[in-house]
Amino acid sequence: AQSVTQLDSQVPVFEEAPVELRCNYSSSVSVYLFWYVQYPNQGLQLLLKYLSGSTLVKSINGFEAEFNKSQTSFHLRKPSVHISDTAEYFCAVSAFSGGYNKLIFGAGTRLAVHP
């Protein structure tokens, strides 16, 4: 069965420092990978996605993630974080199981950016 592991439940970091949120998945087939962000009391917003092609994908607000097939990872990085990046981040993999397609989510990583 496919699964997603987010290795850090919480990541505290100072403003303007770099950050990496780690995500590993298990799958024996081709996958589509996603990072979602959730601000307090809101739904999930798509941050970036890997479907095919270049293994490095970027968002409009400076985040990037690299698909590494050999390490089955899709880590999220940002070279310099802002206070406004404080949120919960979810890694997800698209999977076909039980007769239907679905997204399998990791447990989330809470990014706390301090001044």
Partner 1 sequence: EADIYQTPRYLVIGTGKKITLECSQTMGHDKMYWYQQDPGMELHLIHYSYGVNSTEKGDLSSESTVSRIRTEHFPLTLESARPSHTSQYLCASTERQAGEQFFGPGTRLTVL
> Where does this chain bind partner 1 (CB under 8 A)?
32, 34, 36, 41-46, 49, 51, 88, 90, 94, 96, 98, 100-103, 105-108, 110
CB of 5 to partner 1, least distance (A): 11
CB of 112 to partner 1, least distance (A): 13
43 versus 115: smaller Cβ distance to partner 1: 43
Buried b / exposed e over 57-66, threshold 16 CB at 10 Å, is: bebeeebbbe
9 versus 70: smaller Cβ distance to partner 1: 9
CB of 16 to partner 1, least distance (A): 27
User: Is 10 in contact with 112 (CB distance < 8 Å)?
Assistant: yes
Distance CA(39)–CA(49), nearest Å, equals: 18
78 versus 108: smaller Cβ distance to partner 1: 108
Beta bridge partners of 84: none
17 versus 107: smaller Cβ distance to partner 1: 107
User: Is 10 in contact with 66 (CB distance < 8 Å)?
Assistant: no
Distance CA(75)–CA(106), nearest Å, equals: 12
